[in-house]
Amino acid sequence: MSTSPKSKYLLFSFVTILFVVLDQVSKIWVIRNIKGPRMVVKDINLLDEFGVSLEEWAEFPTSIDIIPGFFSLVHTQNTGAAFGIMEGQMIIFGIFTLIAFGTIVFTLAQMPDDDHFQNWALALLTSGVIGNAIDRVHKQSVTDFLHVYFESDSAIGSALKGMIGSTAWPSFNIADAAIVVGMIMFGIFYVFLEQDHEDEGDDIKSPESATEGL
């Protein structure tokens, strides 16, 4: 049974909107419930922006353990990209975002109507780009809160410390996770599934590179 072009765009829109909402709701919850070290970013007072009193903020925990020794919720405000690089470079982020959206629109238009795998991958990438872009436009920083860490005497902890100088992975958010998962899905597609599309005469370019730094 063939899938209509309308269904392709409906699926893409649904997944994109769903993850943008999840990303933004989670970030608002974190700002209103976890004490962050940088509540004033670029002269923007986050407490005022999100309706939190100083008394309420003083009672917030600095972190919430989900899986002790491995995963917790924290609150950081990142004015750069992943690992804090390109801090404050809003023009560069704007250029990356425009390139990403242009590539996404082109890829979606070229994508086969019944290719749900690539559709999900593209929607996840799009939601991640939009989620972090909303943060940068609204408050010139991105709220990160997912914190994965390892004990210093563990094998993974020691290996991670050797690579990045810390036993904790840099904090991230749902938008970041969506971008990474979307890129992994595209990697799987081009390693394992692309030949099937080539046999059918499809030639679709990946938008992965356009999302770097977002």
pLDDT tens for each residue of 183-203: 999 888 778 766 555 555 555
Per-residue pLDDT tens digits for 11-27? 999 999 999 999 999 99
How much is the pLDDT for 28? 96
Residue ranges covered by each domain of the chain: 5-211
Q: Which residues are catalytic?
A: 144, 176
| Encoded amino acid at 129, one letter | V
Q: Collect all residues with Cβ–Cβ distance below 8 Å to 168 and sequence separation of at least 6.
A: 147, 148, 149, 150, 160
How much is the pLDDT for 62? 95
What Rg value do the Cα atoms of the chain yield, rounded? 19
How much is the pLDDT for 208? 53
pTM for the complete prediction? 0.79
Query: Which parts of the chain register pLDDT below 50?
Result: 1, 83-86, 204
Tell me whether residue 78 is exposed, middle or buried, using C-beta atoms within 10 angstroms of its C-beta: 0 to 12, 13 to 18, 19 or more: buried
